[in-house]
A = this chain, B = another copy of it.
Amino acid sequence: MSVTINDIAKRAKVSSATVSRVLNNSGYVKEETRQRILVAIKEMNYTPSAIARSLSKCETNTIGVIVPDITNAYFGEIIKGVSERAERNNLNIILFNTDNYLEKEVRALKLLKEQRIKGIIMTPGFGEEKFNENYIKTINTLNIPIILVSADVKFTKLNGVFVDNIKGGFEATNLLIKEGHTKIGIMTGLLSSEPVMDRLEGYKRALKENDIDFCSKYVLYGDFKLDKAYELTKKLLKEKDRPTALVVCSNMMTMGVIKALKEENKDIPRDLAIVGFDKIDFLDMVGLNITYMEDCPIELGRSSMDMLFDIISSNEDDSVRRRIIAPQIVVKGSEKKI
């Protein structure tokens, strides 16, 4: 067992209450006594137990963070943003990585509840069946403030910080139109994903607003993964009537598209103009300047932690908070019409 507050109390010949006072800087303590206690703490290498404190105060200084894929830099950035702000507010983070498994999300939620954390920041995974009844029920009966980041959960009206993906899809498409493209395709991710649906919606709106007919043939249904994108692109390149430009809904898929184009010796943007989504750090450096829509995940992280803190601090106010951040467009040249 480690040193406790009582050990310190004995050593300094005071009561544990007094030790507690100097630990928390609460109440008056004679300077002399305080010093004696401080010395005892040093000498015995005492560290107060957050556990005991939590139980006693009926509150922790911990929040939960749930992400679908910790190896993805996008979520790394989110966590970094959360972590920055959490640190500022003296909050610790319990992390769960779900590998996109629904059950793992549910499990994480339950474990976090056991930990009596102050709140949860979560990016739901993009599994096929996010309408799962058990899932929704778990969230609804959680009774802990929860902030969704980046992705929404259908059939709930939860707090969250999101990206305006309709705008993203719109801007991406619009840029291509302004460049003179009229045959514009889009490669989606799984349609169970809100962001993708929204981007698709934005895409359609941009076409409509510019009197370009929507052509269902130009919609390529990907699954966020590189391989599928690669395949789809390969197939696309074989078509006679194919788009001159492509909006690609995720960075992994952008990589797949590029891979296929390279293999077929096609030039970007000459043979196919591209506007992607999400930053791909390494592309510039190898001379591949791909225009993309940028989510600023670190900002999403910061913003969600701020929102959570705001909720925690304002006890009564239980209104639903939703913030929607507009993505940035980063123009690099791959959208050009040549």
User: Is there contact, CB below 8 Å, between B76 and A285?
Assistant: no
Q: A77-B71, A282-B283, A283-B286 are in contact. Are A116 and B49 (CB under 8 A)?
A: yes
In the complex formed, the residue of B with least CB distance to A76 is B71
A19 to B: closest C-beta gap in Å: 15
User: Is there contact, CB below 8 Å, between A71 and B71?
Assistant: no
Partner of A285, one of B51, B62, B259: B259
A334 to B: closest C-beta gap in Å: 13
Q: A95-B79, A258-B286 are in contact. Are A51 and B60 (CB under 8 A)?
A: yes
A69 to B: closest C-beta gap in Å: 8
1/0 per residue A131-153: CB within 8 Å of B?
A: 00000000001010000000000
Q: For chain A, which range describes its interface: under 10, 10 to 19, 20 to 34, or 35 or more residues?
A: 35 or more
In the complex formed, the residue of B with least CB distance to A60 is B51
List B contacts of A281 (CB < 8 A): 282
Interface residue? A14 (CB, 8 A): no
Interface residue? A11 (CB, 8 A): no
List B contacts of A58 (CB < 8 A): 1
Partner of A76, one of B54, B76, B262: B76
In the complex formed, the residue of B with least CB distance to A257 is B285
A141 to B: closest C-beta gap in Å: 6
Interface residue? A280 (CB, 8 A): yes
List B contacts of A6 (CB < 8 A): none
User: Is there contact, CB below 8 Å, between A76 and B70?
Assistant: yes
User: Is there contact, CB below 8 Å, between B72 and A76?
Assistant: yes
**B-binding segment of A106-114, A164-172, A201-209, A241-249:** A106-114
CA distance A82 to B70 in the complex (A): 11
User: Is there contact, CB below 8 Å, between A116 and B79?
Assistant: no
User: Is there contact, CB below 8 Å, between A51 and B55?
Assistant: yes
Which residues in chain A, 29-55, are within 8 Å of chain B measured between CB atoms?
Answer: 45, 47-52, 54-55
Interface residue? A17 (CB, 8 A): no
Interface residue? A94 (CB, 8 A): yes
List B contacts of A141 (CB < 8 A): 45
List B contacts of A47 (CB < 8 A): 110, 113-114
A310 to B: closest C-beta gap in Å: 22
List B contacts of A104 (CB < 8 A): 87
User: Is there contact, CB below 8 Å, between A97 and B80?
Assistant: yes
List B contacts of A256 (CB < 8 A): 285
User: Is there contact, CB below 8 Å, between B73 and A115?
Assistant: no
Q: A92-B111, A283-B286, A285-B259 are in contact. Are A79 and B51 (CB under 8 A)?
A: no
Interface residue? A83 (CB, 8 A): yes
List B contacts of A111 (CB < 8 A): 50, 92
List B contacts of A72 (CB < 8 A): 73, 76
What are 13 contact pairs spanning A and B, CB under 8 A? A47-B114, A48-B114, A51-B54, A70-B76, A72-B76, A93-B95, A94-B94, A255-B285, A255-B286, A258-B286, A259-B286, A262-B286, A286-B288
